[in-house]
Amino acid sequence: MSFALTPLKFPVLDRKFFIVALVLLLHAAALWALQAGLLRRVVEVFVPVVLVSTAVEPPKLQTTPMPPPAPEPQKPLARQPQPAVPPAPMPLAVPDAPPAPNAPTGVVAPPAPLPPVAAPVAVAAPPAPPAPPRIELPISDAAYLNNPKPAYPRMSMQQGEQGRVVLNVLIGADGNPKKVEIHQSSGFERLDRAAMEAVMRWRFVPGKRGGVPETMPMLVPLNFSMG
For 9-39, the pLDDT digits (tens) are 545 556 777 888 888 888 788 777 676 665 5
- Is residue 100 a part of any domain in this protein? no
- Is residue 94 a part of any domain in this protein? no
All residues at 6 or more sequence positions from 103 whose CB lies less than 8 Å from its CB, including other chains: none
- Is residue 19 a part of any domain in this protein? yes
Query: Does residue 164 contact residue 222 with C-beta atoms inside 8 Å?
Result: yes
For residue 208, what are the domain limits?
Answer: 135-224
- Is residue 145 a part of any domain in this protein? yes
- Is residue 188 a part of any domain in this protein? yes
For 35-62, what is each residue's pLDDT tens digit? 666 555 544 544 444 444 444 454 455 5
> Total domain count for the chain?
2
Question: In whole angstroms, how large is the CA radius of gyration of the chain?
Answer: 79
- pLDDT for 105 equals 55
Q: What is the CB neighbour count within 10 angstroms for residue 88?
A: 6
For 186-218, what is each residue's pLDDT tens digit? 999 999 999 999 999 999 999 999 999 999 999
Q: What is the DSSP letter of 17?
A: H
Q: What angle do CA 183, 186, 187 make, to 5 degrees?
A: 115
- Is residue 186 a part of any domain in this protein? yes
- Enter the pTM of the model: 0.43
- Is residue 206 a part of any domain in this protein? yes
For 90-144, what is each residue's pLDDT tens digit? 655 555 555 555 555 555 666 777 777 666 677 777 888 888 888 999 998 877 8
- Is residue 177 a part of any domain in this protein? yes
